[in-house]
Amino acid sequence: QRLINNMHKLFEDVVIEPCLLHGDLWSGNISSDKNGEPVILDPACY
């Protein structure tokens, strides 16, 4: 309860900026091309 009551203090000087977020990044999204270079499949940025 003490944390909840004081949590706003943690964000007093925080500047919120938009950014891309991947909602489904897991090992099934990782593969490699014919040269062995890593690639990420289905990035689905939100």
**21: Cβ–Cβ under 8 A, 6 or more apart, which residues?**
45, 46
Residues in CB range of 42: below 8 A, 6 or more apart = 24, 29
**Which of the following is catalytic: 13, 24, 33, 42?**
24
13 part of the active site: no
Which sequence positions are flagged as catalytic?
24
